[in-house]
Structure 1
Amino acid sequence: MSTLIESPAETVVQLRPSGLSAHAENDPTAVAVSAADCELTYRELDLWSNRLARLLLARGAGPGVRIAVAVTPAVEATVTNWAIAKTGAVAVPAAPGTPVPGAALGVTTKALRRELADSLGWLVLDDRSTLVHYMTGSDAPITDADRGSALKIA
């Protein structure tokens, strides 16, 4: 299975779950995803998604948990999808005004938040408090113990 990020202004990069670690180790400086104003190397993508995965785990993400995703910029969407995969959770697309059955939480941005159902607790990526936690969090690899801790907390 692969993740394909599409947007007219971004470079489209196809990633495979098993391939991120391999790319990060073999050529960590290669560009994994880029947009007009930002590009991330495989190493940066790995580190950024580890930090976001920790935020998601703290909010109840874990193996089999459904997480609604309403994130459009390619860089943010890629980081979000990798973070969700690292927690063992399942990313489910969210549409404006439509509830996401079975979703435990959601990830979005300020621009999209007001259009989304209020039935979920939304992690707003560009909210100041989220950014502070995100930028100061650990970027260490997510382990089975991290995922297991999330299950015990939830």
Structure 2
Amino acid sequence: MLLPQLLVSAVESAGDAVAVVEGSRSLSYRELDAVSSRWARWLIGRGVGPGDAVVVAVPRSLESVVVLWAVAKSGATFVPVDPGYPAERVQFMVADSGAVLALTVASVAQVVAGSAGSVPVVVVDEVSVAAQVRGLSSRPVSYADRVRSLEPSDAAWMIYTSGSTGRPKGVVVSHAGVGGVIAAEREHFGVDGSSRVLHVCSPSFDVSLLELGVGFSAGATVVVAPAGVGGGPDLADVIASQSVSHVFMTPGALGSMDPAGLDALRVVVVAGESFTPDLVRRWSVPGRRRFFNAYGPTETTILATSSAELVPDAPVVIGSAIAGWGRSCSMSGCVRCPRVWSVSCMWPGRRWRGVITVGSG
């Protein structure tokens, strides 16, 4: 399943349900589909499509979700860039990505423009731009609307990791492996239409795509944490006030909060760092709140493994290969993982080798 298909899969069945909420603002699935289709058409009208990279330097918000949907629908590659990063890092990421366009918002536009070099910068909440978008059709974007055909081998997103030398390394993930990983983990973590999934991970941390993928594909409500909130009492307040049922975050962020009073929270998934059994003891409540550990380098389409439920006083493990991904294969120059298939990267001008997740059969 291609990324745009995955994102809109619940629009028909849950059109009037709340898709995303940020504070007092919200959009239903039907509204999110409509506004993102207009933005996708605006991108397509400027020749943007499959094979093009679009930098998205928008702080976590309702707008960042809309822009992600729009870029995905256009068929272009989503390149998340945190505008809070040092200017030198942002400059490198924008230039190295080969982006044809950078999207941002007024609050950080000056910073982004100063780091974009020759890449055109569009401020999505600028009055004149918003007026252009409102005048476009909101009907669903189809293959016939795109400037080029969108294929499973095309890049869905490109995320920069720190790299082994400390220099950012762009990792391209194709559409081919996304649907399987999202479907497997949605079932594993019990995300359904009644769930309220927290969106708190940095857009430069690929688990943010897991938050959005499992939430939207299930017809759940995605709760967006304010951009400046990443842990501690402020994040706990968001989880409590918004009755969040599922969280995906680093152990450090989880450990900064007190679990008391988070009665609606049913599933906790940690990834990205090691942790001690004490974190499990604090957060796992067998029969009421389940605790999972997940692991995987960015090259393996978000995750390589996820654990069964971890309970207090039991060993902390990273688990086994994600359900449905049991067949091993030959690796050449890539991460040593039995769940991925080494393929030549299709990104123009790149010489490293990428990976796509391989299903059984």
For the aligned pair, the TM-score class normalised by the smaller chain equals 0.7 to 0.9
Structure 1 pair 109–26 and aligned structure 2 pair: CA distance change class (3 A): same
Query: Quick check: which one's helix share is greater?
Result: 1
Secondary structure of the equivalent of 1:141? coil
Give the Cα–Cα distance (whole angstroms) in 1 for the partners of residues 116 and 4 of structure 2. Answer: 31
Letter in 1 for 2:99: A
1:42 partnered with 2:32: no
1:128 partnered with 2:127: yes
1:69 partnered with 2:56: yes
Deviation at 1:19, TM superposition (A): 4.1
Letter in 1 for 2:108: L
Is the contact made by 1:20 and 1:46 (CA closer than 8 Å) also made in structure 2? no
Deviation at 1:36, TM superposition (A): 1.3
Q: Under a length normalisation based on structure 2, what TM-score does the superposition of the two structures give?
A: 0.36
1:104 partnered with 2:100: yes
Aligned counterparts, 1:4-153, within 5 A? 17-96=4-83, 97=87, 98-99=90-91, 100=94, 101=96, 102-116=98-112, 117-119=115-117, 120-148=119-147
Deviation at 1:118, TM superposition (A): 3.6
Q: Deviations over 1:62-107 (max 9, x none)?
A: 0021000011142111110011001111111224432212011011
**Paired-residue identity, %:** 38
Q: Deviations over 1:31-80 (max 9, x none)?
A: 11001131001111110110000111122310021000011142111110
Secondary structure of the equivalent of 1:22? coil
Letter in 1 for 2:35: W
Give the Cα–Cα distance (whole angstroms) in 2 for the partners of residues 79 and 110 of structure 1. Answer: 16
Structure 1 pair 134–82 and aligned structure 2 pair: CA distance change class (3 A): same
Letter in 1 for 2:135: T
Letter in 2 for 1:140: R
Report the RMSD for the aligned CA atoms in angstroms: 2.1
Count of residues paired in the alignment: 136
Letter in 1 for 2:133: Y
Is the contact made by 2:4 and 2:73 (CA closer than 8 Å) also made in structure 1? no
Letter in 1 for 2:123: V
Structure 1 pair 24–37 and aligned structure 2 pair: CA distance change class (3 A): same
Letter in 1 for 2:61: A
Which structure exhibits the higher relative contact order, with contacts defined as CA atoms closer than 8 Å and separated by 6 or more residues? 1
* Higher alpha-carbon deviation: 34-43 or 114-123: 114-123
Deviation at 1:125, TM superposition (A): 0.9
Greater C-alpha radius of gyration: 2
Give the Cα–Cα distance (whole angstroms) in 1 for the partners of residues 14 and 132 of structure 2. Answer: 29
Is the contact made by 1:108 and 1:125 (CA closer than 8 Å) also made in structure 2? yes
Give the Cα–Cα distance (whole angstroms) in 2 for the partners of residues 74 and 55 of structure 1. Answer: 20
Q: Under a length normalisation based on structure 1, what TM-score does the superposition of the two structures give?
A: 0.80
Is the contact made by 1:67 and 1:105 (CA closer than 8 Å) also made in structure 2? yes
For structure 1, which runs of at least 5 residues remain unmatched after alignment? 2-15
For structure 2, which runs of at least 5 residues remain unmatched after alignment? 150-361
Secondary structure of the equivalent of 1:144? coil
Structure 1 pair 72–94 and aligned structure 2 pair: CA distance change class (3 A): same
Structure 1 pair 69–139 and aligned structure 2 pair: CA distance change class (3 A): same
Give the Cα–Cα distance (whole angstroms) in 2 for the partners of residues 125 and 148 of structure 1. Answer: 21
Give the Cα–Cα distance (whole angstroms) in 2 for the partners of residues 37 and 121 of structure 1. Answer: 32
Q: Deviations over 1:6-52 (max 9, x none)?
A: xxxxxxxxxx7544433110110111100113100111111011000
